[in-house]
């Protein structure tokens, strides 16, 4: 009898121990799932903030000169953009020309005649002296990259002194600083900055297509410059 009693007691304790272990296992699983859910919610929140910056609230710095293109179907259709996913870097492919000359060209497209029409423009152009001209509000689409990319990207054209497409020091430094400014104010990072080449395979901006290492250095320079505008 005593032996049976001890066996029953032993089984009871083992069952109780197993029950406690099962409860502990469930608690640990709940904590792990709760932690994973918290991380997921934070990630989704950050993604939401990045993708849904109200473009109307983003002001341009005083060193950006607004020289808006006349609204027209070929270079400023006034198609509204709801969000910006990427910043696209271009070169004007017209050596020695100024930012003002290139912006004037985009504006002149409104006067096209004939059968074949050109659609082209850019939100910004950086000149040979580092000046930044804005031709289209960032709330509107520009005809700069591709049909697929134009609807959610901001484009920056850069002037260059010769056929290599290499930007001079003033243009480069201004491009780095302005790209960093846009990243910080649009909820983007240097990882969201691409070349026209990356979107369509076009040889643009030529110097950065030919020198992948210098493109990577440019992105690192943008990363460093973001600190100036970090909010």
Q: Which domain holds residue 180?
A: 55-229
Do 168 and 151 contact (CB within 8 A), yes or no?
no
Residue 50 has pLDDT above 60, yes or no: no
Please give the pLDDT value at position 53.
86
Asked if the peptide bond before residue 218 counts as cis, ω within 30 degrees of 0, the response is: no
Query: Taking the complete model, does pTM exceed 0.85, yes or no?
Result: no
Average of pLDDT values for 48-72? 87
For the chain, the distance separating the N- and C-terminal CA atoms, rounded to the nearest angstrom, is 78
Of the two residues 24 and 177, the one the predictor is more confident about is 177
Q: Are residues 123 and 11 in the same domain?
A: no
Boundary of a domain, candidates 32, 51, 70: 51
User: Both 135 and 122 in a single domain?
Assistant: yes
Is 70 exceeded by the pLDDT of residue 2?
no
The mean-pLDDT minimum among 22-31, 67-76, 131-140, 206-215 falls in 22-31
Q: Give the mean model confidence (pLDDT) for residues 204-218.
A: 98
120 and 219, same structural domain?
yes
> pLDDT: is 16 or 207 the higher one?
207
Same domain, 21 and 88: no
The answer on pLDDT for 8 being more than 90 is no
Number of domains observed in the structure of the chain: 2
Report CA-CA distances (Å) from 94 to 65, 98, 99, 134, 160. Answer: 21, 9, 11, 18, 8
pLDDT given for residue 65 in this prediction: 97
Query: Based on the domain organization, do 117 and 146 belong to the same domain?
Result: yes
> Is the pLDDT at 108 greater than 70, yes or no?
yes
- Give strand ranges (E) for 36-137: 64-66, 86-91, 124-126, 132-134
């Amino acid at each position: 009898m005593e032996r049976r009693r001890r066996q029953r007691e032993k089984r009871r304790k083992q069952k109780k121990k197993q029950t406690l272990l099962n409860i502990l296992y469930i608690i640990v699983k709940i904590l792990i799932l709760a932690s994973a859910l918290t991380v997921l919610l934070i990630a989704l929140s950050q993604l939401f903030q990045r993708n849904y910056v109200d473009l109307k609230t983003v002001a341009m710095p005083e060193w950006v000169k607004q020289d808006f293109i006349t609204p027209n179907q070929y270079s400023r259709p006034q198609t509204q953009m709801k969000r910006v996913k990427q910043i696209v870097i271009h070169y004007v492919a017209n050596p020695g020309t100024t930012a003002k000359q290139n912006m004037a060209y985009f504006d002149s497209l409104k006067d096209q005649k004939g059968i074949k029409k050109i659609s082209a423009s850019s939100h910004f152009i950086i000149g040979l002296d580092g000046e930044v001209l804005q031709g289209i509000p960032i709330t509107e689409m520009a005809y700069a990259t591709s049909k697929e990319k134009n609807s959610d990207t901001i484009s920056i054209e850069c002037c260059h002194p010769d056929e290599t497409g290499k930007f001079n020091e003033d243009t480069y430094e201004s491009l780095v600083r302005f790209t960093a400014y846009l990243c910080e104010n649009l909820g983007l990072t240097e990882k969201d900055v691409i070349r026209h080449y990356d979107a369509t395979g076009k040889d643009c901006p030529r110097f950065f297509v030919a020198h992948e290492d210098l493109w990577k250095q440019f992105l690192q320079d943008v990363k460093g410059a973001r600190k100036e505008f970090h909010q």
